[in-house]
């Protein structure tokens, strides 16, 4: 039993060190932080990331974008942060980017705080 526990802990630490690299790992991360994601829909009209899904967490919009590399996610965030048209708050975890918008300011800030690395 102890050996099994050591293996599970070792595998968990490897997974944690790898970080978020897929939509599915980002969903699991959000859930582990208490962010309940509902109304999952694939965003096939966007052209910046290979995979992108939209969700709701209460009244708050949460988008998860999966880029090919962490550098691409970071570069996109930098460009969007300079755009006056972009009002979403962006949180980057390697090649994954969370975009948070809508809802009340307090609810939105709770989601942003929970999704921080």
Residue 109 has pLDDT above 60, yes or no: yes
> Does an H or E element contain 65, and which?
strand 60-66
Banded model confidence at residue 86, pLDDT cuts 50, 70, 90? confident
Q: How far apart are the C-alpha atoms of 10 and 12, rounded to whole Å? A: 5
Q: How far apart are the C-alpha atoms of 95 and 25, rounded to whole Å? A: 11
Q: What is the pTM of this model?
A: 0.82
- What pLDDT is recorded for position 18? 56
Share of the chain above pLDDT 90, in %: 75
Tokens matching residue 56 = 């709701």
Instruction: Of 83, 84, 116, give the one whose Cα is nearest residue 97.
Output: 116
pLDDT digit string (tens) for 32-51? 999 999 999 999 988 899 99
């Amino acid at each position: 039993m102890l050996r099994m526990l050591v293996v599970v802990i070792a595998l968990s630490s490897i997974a944690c060190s790898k970080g978020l690299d897929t939509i599915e790992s980002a969903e699991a991360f959000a859930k582990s932080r208490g962010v309940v994601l509902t109304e999952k829909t694939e965003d096939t009209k966007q052209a910046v990331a290979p995979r992108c899904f939209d969700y709701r967490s209460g009244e708050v919009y949460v988008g998860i974008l999966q880029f090919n590399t962490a550098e691409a996610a970071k570069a996109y965030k930098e460009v969007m942060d300079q755009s006056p048209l972009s009002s979403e708050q962006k949180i980057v975890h390697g090649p994954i980017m969370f975009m948070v918008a809508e809802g009340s300011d307090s609810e939105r800030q709770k989601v942003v705080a929970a999704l921080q690395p």
